[in-house]
Amino acid sequence: MTRIFVYGTLKRGRSNHHCLEGQRFVAEAHTQPIYRLYDMGGYPGMIRDDNGVAVEGEIWEVDAGGLARLDVLEDIEGGEYERVMLELEGDRVEGYLFLHDVSGRPDAGACW
């Protein structure tokens, strides 16, 4: 099992939450204030930012099949996101960082 931080459309009640079906919710969580969300048009992209905020999200325990589904959704192979270790308040878990330029995109702050 892999613990993963989700912060956008994968959170409970959001449009892609169905991708976490069969996985286990662990807790609500916040990142260290070194990340920032940007509105990419219907979904957020989280980047590392020297002027970051504590991004709100959820930690989930995900099995190998669930992790593979998330990697496809986040287009790891196509280079849209990268799965990395994220710094949370009091913890480190895996999560997805956005890899494209966010110049000109609306700042979504700490919560999607």
Structure tokens at 12: 């409970």
pLDDT computed for residue 62 by the predictor: 98
Each of the 112 residues of the chain gets a pLDDT tens digit; together they read 999 999 999 999 999 999 999 999 999 999 999 999 999 999 999 999 999 999 999 999 999 999 999 999 999 999 999 999 999 999 999 999 999 999 999 999 999 9
Contact 95, 34 (CB under 8 A): no
Length of the chain: 112
- Residues 74, 77, 80, 94: which is the catalytic one? 74
Domains and CATH numbers, the chain: 2-109 (3.10.490.10)
Residue 74 among the catalytic residues: yes
